[in-house]
């Protein structure tokens, strides 16, 4: 599975959930202004994912990500 990140300045996490419980977290830190792909070794099932901001930098609100197989 891949997480594709764009527009990050600071730190954010993508959390993977199963029935509302976090089963995996992937943290992204630094400055990303173009597409960055990260392959993650996470093979468990999940039914949702969400972003959690770790820093309070206003530019983090532009954070975008996509989960791809």
pLDDT, tens digit (0-9, with 9 covering 90-100), for 6-44 = 888 888 889 999 999 999 999 988 888 889 899 998 888
pLDDT-based confidence at residue 61 (cuts at 50, 70, 90): confident
Q: Nearest 5 degrees, angle CA 60-CA 16-CA 32?
A: 30
Q: Over range 58-65, report the average pLDDT.
A: 78
User: pTM for the complete prediction?
Assistant: 0.83
Phi-psi region of 54 (alpha: psi -120 to 50; beta: other; left: phi over 0): alpha
Higher pLDDT, 8 or 46: 46
**3 in Cβ contact with 64 (< 8 Å):** no
């Amino acid at each position: 599975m891949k997480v594709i990140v764009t527009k990050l300045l600071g730190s954010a996490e993508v959390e993977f959930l199963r029935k509302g419980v976090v089963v995996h977290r992937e943290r992204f830190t630094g400055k990303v202004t173009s597409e960055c792909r990260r392959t993650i070794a996470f093979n468990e099932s999940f039914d949702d994912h969400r972003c959690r901001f770790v820093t309070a930098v206003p530019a983090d609100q532009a954070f975008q990500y996509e989960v791809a197989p």
